[in-house]
Amino acid sequence: MPASSIERVDLLDLKMLPAWVKEQKTYAHYEGDEDGPVERAPIHPRRGPDRPSRKARPPRAFKKTGDGRSPARRVQDRHVKDRHKTFEVVASQVAIHFLPHRPAVENVAAQIKSGSVAYSLFALARLFLEKPERYSVRLTASPESPLYQLGENGAVSADRQFLENNAFRLAKEDFYKIDITQSDPIKGNFSNVARCNLSGTLFGPTNHHDYQRRLRNLYEQRFSRRMSFADYQRQIEIVNDPAAVEQWKEEARKITTFTTLHEEAPLAFPSVTEAERHFRQNYLPALIRTSQEIGIDGVLSRRLPDRALHRAIEDAWTRETRSPSKMMQELTGKFREAGLNIFRHRRGMLFVSPIRVRALVQESAALSSAVSAILETLRAMPGINRKELAEKLIVDLSGEELERAKLALASDLHWLVGEGHVIEFNDGSLDLPRTKRAPQKLDGNLENAATEVESTAEFVGSTESRPPGSLQEHPAS
């Protein structure tokens, strides 16, 4: 994906509210299903959403069998089980890994460097997974069950036969110039037309010369993996509506011609059938490539025509969004390459900051009383913001004295944050760096050893997805 098409990731989305308490978005909000959006029946005020009206219920063509299901229903259930089995096989054979786009990472790193606040790595990982323009997907398969792709950047599938059957539909615009013109109006009197109940497509009268071809093409393109052709034919109804007949006549007037784009002498084909025959003979053999590892951008991953692979990526995205440990690992390496610092805070949560965080050993001789007061207040009240800190430290002052005290406090706090002795988080809260106690020494009497600063650069792969309990949501000062 070119850098110009990368959407800018704005960290202002995380300024006021930590991302871990935001409402999680679902994968289903994105388009990409090969059958298009699902049309739901209107809800009857009495019957409810799960009980269709009597008029919407299709006629019962067969008697029910001993298990209470009609033969058509049993065939449909069998195909559903087959699709679920195919999904389970694909999910077990393909490893799915989400990677952040480098231009987006560079954009975020530049924004972090421009300030002095620390951001939750957990929240940033979710920010990258939130939109498909911000990440790519790496698919890794076993040598026994490789992946197949149309060209370098085309559709991906775990089933070669499926890709061959749909290659022309998916790649025709890369090889042919498609022109649509209108012919003379269709002559003849037609009282009805056939319509697909699943897609709403009008095929025309059943005795029309083009009916069978259009019916078979739509089945092969959209429904062959969901049901048999006999089951699909049961979804065709005859409509005795003059408006539907006129609509079909207008659509049937359209003539589509295909002209080759990569031939020295361009060839033109007056029908889809002839163009697809030419495509399969000249382009298809060299178009499908086999690979064990394929990288695709996030946008393409939402629109894969292979339903089993699409669902496997959808489930992996849902799990990763819920606990984005792998994305956090990727971001950790990228941020360190950019010169940023990764550190752990309360409950082991990981944060990224432009400043190296290090605790300050308080010595009364070296620190001013104002700085010591800031440290003592934050130690007693972790998670307060700048405004609350000022209310605790500046009391009984007014006029010029109040303004001087505020400026002095801001200067001291700026120095503490810049040196890494105080952490300012993206939600405006303040806290001291994490420390731990050294092992106790045994010299006859148990003595408390001095506190020792925990290493802030060490990264451990397993992370906890809960926010620090002490970091509450505070308005920015």
My answer on whether 248 and 377 are in the same domain is no
What is the Cα–Cα distance from 199 to 11, expressed in whole angstroms?
A: 42
pLDDT digits (tens, 9 = 90+) for 89-137: 676 788 999 999 999 999 999 999 999 999 999 999 999 999 999 999 9
> Is 256 contained in some domain?
yes
pLDDT digits (tens, 9 = 90+) for 196-231: 988 888 888 888 888 888 888 888 777 876 788 889
Q: Three-state DSSP class for 94? A: strand
> Is 87 contained in some domain?
yes
My answer on whether 222 and 318 are in the same domain is no
Q: Kind and range of the H or E element at 441?
A: strand 441-442
My answer on whether 127 and 237 are in the same domain is no
Backbone angles phi, psi at 244, to 5 degrees: -65, -35
pLDDT digits (tens, 9 = 90+) for 19-41: 333 333 333 333 333 333 333 33
My answer on whether 12 and 126 are in the same domain is yes
> Is 7 contained in some domain?
yes
Q: Which domain holds residue 76?
A: 3-25+64-146+292-335
My answer on whether 281 and 297 are in the same domain is no
My answer on whether 82 and 118 are in the same domain is yes
What is the Cα–Cα distance from 207 to 440, expressed in whole angstroms?
A: 93
DSSP for 130-197, written as a single string: TSGGGEEEEEEE-TTS-EEEETTTS-EES-HHHHHHHHHHHHHHHHEEEEEEE-SPPPS----EEEET
My answer on whether 431 and 364 are in the same domain is yes
pLDDT digits (tens, 9 = 90+) for 346-356: 788 999 999 99
My answer on whether 281 and 309 are in the same domain is no
> Is 352 contained in some domain?
no
- For the chain, the domain total comes to 3
Backbone angles phi, psi at 43, to 5 degrees: -85, 125
The structure's pTM equals 0.65
What is the Cα–Cα distance from 202 to 214, expressed in whole angstroms?
A: 9
My answer on whether 187 and 311 are in the same domain is no
Contact 126, 321 (CB under 8 A): yes
> What value does the CA radius of gyration of the chain take, rounded to a whole number of Å?
32
Q: Kind and range of the H or E element at 423?
A: strand 423-424
Q: How many CB atoms lie within 10 A of CB 59?
A: 4
> Is 108 contained in some domain?
yes
